Chain A
Amino acid sequence: MSVEEIGSVLSERFGDAIIEFVAAGLHPHAVVAAGRWHEVATFLRDDPRMGFNMLRSVSGVDRQAQNELEAVYDLIAMAPPEGSREGFWAARHALAVKVRTERANPHIPSVADVWPTADWHEREAYDLLGIVFDGHPDPVEDEAGRHPRRILCPDDWQGHALRKDYVFPEAYGGIPGRSEIDASKPVK
């Protein structure tokens, strides 16, 4: 199926949930509303025309100008060889899905039950950007609410490092984070 056909199937099926569909360019993607993302994800995986069985990557992006946080899901449909068990699997089609949410209170439904790959990727997106994935299989409850457990930074780290307005902490657990010289310089 070509990317345009995928776009039309999705728009037909989900209507408003597909906010935007960009078929041309180096990175064809669909922008999906956060509320219905889980439904769309299940459809993308299970529908025989779609068949997106591998989630390659979940990238969190900080769109500071638009005051949004965005999660970009890169999907690919790998089809087993027709007929015989020998032979290469084919790459049917590849698509990216962008789910955007507001910066102040970012929540996106977790798709870790659809693609288990998303488990760790979503933890990383939370850790580095602060996107809270609701329904994540490894949640932690603290004063920031219920969110996925951090993966790269220590569990008690403050702040989300990949945000554009992130300021490195002065110290962590007694280890100095920024020197006095650093503190006097403006943060880019």
Chain B
Amino acid sequence: MSTRRTLQSAPDLLADLDAEAMDQGKLQTEEMLINMGPQHPSTHGVLRLVLRTDGEMVLETTPHIGYLHRCAEKIGESVAPYQYVPYTDRLDYLSAMNNNHAWSLTIEKLCGIQVPERASTIRIIMAELNRIASHLVSLGTYGLDMGAFTPFLYTFREREYILDLFEAVCGARLTYSYITPGGVTDDLTEDFVDRCRAFLDYFVPKPAEYNQLLSYNHIFIERTAGVGVISPRDAIAWGLTGTCLRATGVKWDLRKCLAYDIYDRFEFEVPVGLPEGGVMPVPPGMPPVVVPAGVVVGDSWTRYALRIVEMYWSAHIVRQALDRLPAGEYRAKVPRTLKLPEAEIYFEAENPRGQLGFYVVGNGTSIPSRVKVRGPCFNNLSIVSHVCRDCLLADIPAIVGSIDIVLGEVDR
């Protein structure tokens, strides 16, 4: 049993009834409007999905967002760039380092600030560690949505060690404000490199465990393979980025295609969705990830599995960065009140959930006149109304969970 797209939910009870009566709407079918959210265990935040269902079949999904709107863009028009860094933390709060990184790069490009190499390397270490942490949350909660309670605890156990590393460096576990325009706020602690290496040695065998427990579990594959298939054309048209785009087979990663910061000096592969039997590229020495039978390119299983492989590669990048960490300054000399030129810039960085873009319009003062935050999850979520049609109710968490949204970024 694998194909499930054209499913007949109910036996054909209406077969012997008058077709004409049905067409003219005289027949009363039982359609329910079900509200999923804003508080719901599997919508990953305050998201409201209004489902029009016929029994277990979902006919139409309408997402309603805005429950977490905190006027981030309006605030951007009243604070200086350096002061805006904590607000970027709270966009996609699970990958705060990456948000800070994107914002800092935007301002540095706008103002022409050169960042020392040590600072850049530290930034990449933090960004990739945060990518691992973010993917761990995504995998764990996805397993939880599917009813597998245990991988959630395992991934959070690993994440605790990453959060300990972050806490050592900047004192915070979730909203770091560590990467700022000019560099980073403080240098690494003395034992950071050793602790990070110890963590990587501990962590690297773990994704294989998750594969055993969850990815290759027959029940899990049945729930997620072939569910929520997105074609590459749809993905690009709807503005999907990140893992959702790569799962459809489009090999597009900003760290490679439009390399920013010093990502071009690191060696890493970018996994894409493969048909069944395909072998996803992993760093040397890791067990390969083979796509099981029943999986279609662009389905939920592929989106989920890509995150596991990306964790391997992020660990690989962190190792390279630790090896090549140069001595030097951890900050560039940036004036206290940074005056933005009368120019504008749109810059995107590759976050764990997609491409986070900032459009900043400077007007010669120290406060921007417009800050637009292009959250990747905003676009990723918009495809839900297109994909979650004619599927079963139990497929909704499977699809929404695999798209991996954080409402902080959707609503800003």
Q: Answer yes or no: A and B touching, Cβ < 8 Å.
A: yes
Q: Are A81 and B66 in contact (CB under 8 A)?
A: no
B382 at the interface (CB under 8 A from A): yes
- One of A3-11, A86-94, A102-110 at the interface: A86-94
| Chain A residues in 8 Å Cβ range of B239 | 54-56, 115-117
Q: Are B74 and A62 in contact (CB under 8 A)?
A: no
Q: Which of A56, A74, A162 contacts B74 (CB 8 A)?
A: A162
| Chain A residues in 8 Å Cβ range of B348 | 56
Within B48-104, the residues touching A (CB, 8 Å) are 65-66, 69, 71, 73-74, 78
A78 at the interface (CB under 8 A from B): yes
| Chain B residues in 8 Å Cβ range of A59 | 346, 359, 370, 372, 374
| Chain A residues in 8 Å Cβ range of B386 | 116
| Chain A residues in 8 Å Cβ range of B382 | 116-117, 119-120
| Chain A residues in 8 Å Cβ range of B128 | none
Q: Are B359 and A74 in contact (CB under 8 A)?
A: yes
B304 at the interface (CB under 8 A from A): no
| Chain A residues in 8 Å Cβ range of B361 | 61
Q: B344's closest neighbor in chain A, by CB? A: A27
- One of A36-44, A149-157, A175-183 at the interface: A149-157
| Chain A residues in 8 Å Cβ range of B65 | 151-152
- How far, in whole Å, are A121 and B372 apart by their CA atoms in the complex? 11
Q: Are A154 and B66 in contact (CB under 8 A)?
A: yes
B110 at the interface (CB under 8 A from A): yes
Instruction: Name the distance in Å between B312's Cβ and chain A's nearest Cβ.
Output: 19
Q: Are A115 and B257 in contact (CB under 8 A)?
A: no
- Interface size in chain B (residues, C-beta < 8 A): 39
| Chain A residues in 8 Å Cβ range of B71 | 161
Q: B253's closest neighbor in chain A, by CB? A: A88
- How far, in whole Å, are A121 and B239 apart by their CA atoms in the complex? 10
| Chain A residues in 8 Å Cβ range of B252 | 78, 88-89
Instruction: Name the distance in Å between B343's Cβ and chain A's nearest Cβ.
Output: 6
Provided the pairs A57-B372, A90-B257, A154-B66 are in contact, do residues A116 and B357 lie with their beta carbons within 8 angstroms?
no
Within B355-387, the residues touching A (CB, 8 Å) are 355, 357, 359, 361, 370, 372, 374, 378-379, 382, 386
Within B256-311, the residues touching A (CB, 8 Å) are 256-258, 270
A34 at the interface (CB under 8 A from B): no
Provided the pairs A119-B382, A120-B382 are in contact, do residues A27 and B251 lie with their beta carbons within 8 angstroms?
no
Provided the pairs A26-B109, A57-B372, A117-B382 are in contact, do residues A74 and B78 lie with their beta carbons within 8 angstroms?
no
- How far, in whole Å, are A96 and B346 apart by their CA atoms in the complex? 9
A128 at the interface (CB under 8 A from B): yes
B318 at the interface (CB under 8 A from A): no
A17 at the interface (CB under 8 A from B): no
Q: Which of B251, B343, B345 contacts A87 (CB 8 A)?
A: B251
B47 at the interface (CB under 8 A from A): no
B213 at the interface (CB under 8 A from A): no
Q: Are B343 and A152 in contact (CB under 8 A)?
A: no
Instruction: Name the distance in Å between A83's Cβ and chain B's nearest Cβ.
Output: 14
Q: Which of A61, A78, A117 contacts B370 (CB 8 A)?
A: A61
Instruction: Name the distance in Å between B284's Cβ and chain A's nearest Cβ.
Output: 19
- How far, in whole Å, are A53 and B78 apart by their CA atoms in the complex? 34
Q: A90's closest neighbor in chain B, by CB? A: B257
- How far, in whole Å, are A45 and B344 apart by their CA atoms in the complex? 24
Within A109-144, the residues touching B (CB, 8 Å) are 115-117, 119-121, 128
Q: Are A74 and B357 in contact (CB under 8 A)?
A: yes
B398 at the interface (CB under 8 A from A): no
| Chain A residues in 8 Å Cβ range of B78 | 188
A186 at the interface (CB under 8 A from B): no
Q: Which of A56, A80, A128, A154 contacts B374 (CB 8 A)?
A: A56
| Chain B residues in 8 Å Cβ range of A62 | 370
| Chain A residues in 8 Å Cβ range of B73 | 128, 162
Instruction: Name the distance in Å between B410's Cβ and chain A's nearest Cβ.
Output: 9
Q: Which of A26, A53, A81 contacts B251 (CB 8 A)?
A: A81
A72 at the interface (CB under 8 A from B): yes
A25 at the interface (CB under 8 A from B): yes
- How far, in whole Å, are A78 and B232 apart by their CA atoms in the complex? 12
B238 at the interface (CB under 8 A from A): yes
Q: Are A88 and B257 in contact (CB under 8 A)?
A: yes
- How far, in whole Å, are A84 and B276 apart by their CA atoms in the complex? 19
Instruction: Name the distance in Å between A44's Cβ and chain B's nearest Cβ.
Output: 14
Interface set of B (CB-CB < 8 Å, partner A): 65-66, 69, 71, 73-74, 78, 109-110, 236-239, 249-253, 256-258, 270, 343-346, 348, 355, 357, 359, 361, 370, 372, 374, 378-379, 382, 386, 411
A-B contact pairs, 11 of them (CB 8 A): A26-B110, A27-B343, A56-B355, A62-B370, A78-B250, A85-B249, A90-B257, A91-B258, A96-B346, A116-B239, A117-B237
Interface set of A (CB-CB < 8 Å, partner B): 25-27, 53-57, 59-62, 72, 74, 78, 80-81, 85-91, 96, 115-117, 119-121, 128, 150-154, 161-162, 188
Q: Which 10 A-B pairs have the closest CB atoms?
A: A117-B239, A59-B372, A57-B374, A152-B66, A26-B345, A152-B69, A120-B382, A89-B252, A59-B359, A27-B344
User: A59-B374, A86-B251, A152-B66 given. 6 additional CB < 8 A pairs?
Assistant: A26-B345, A55-B239, A78-B252, A116-B382, A119-B382, A121-B378
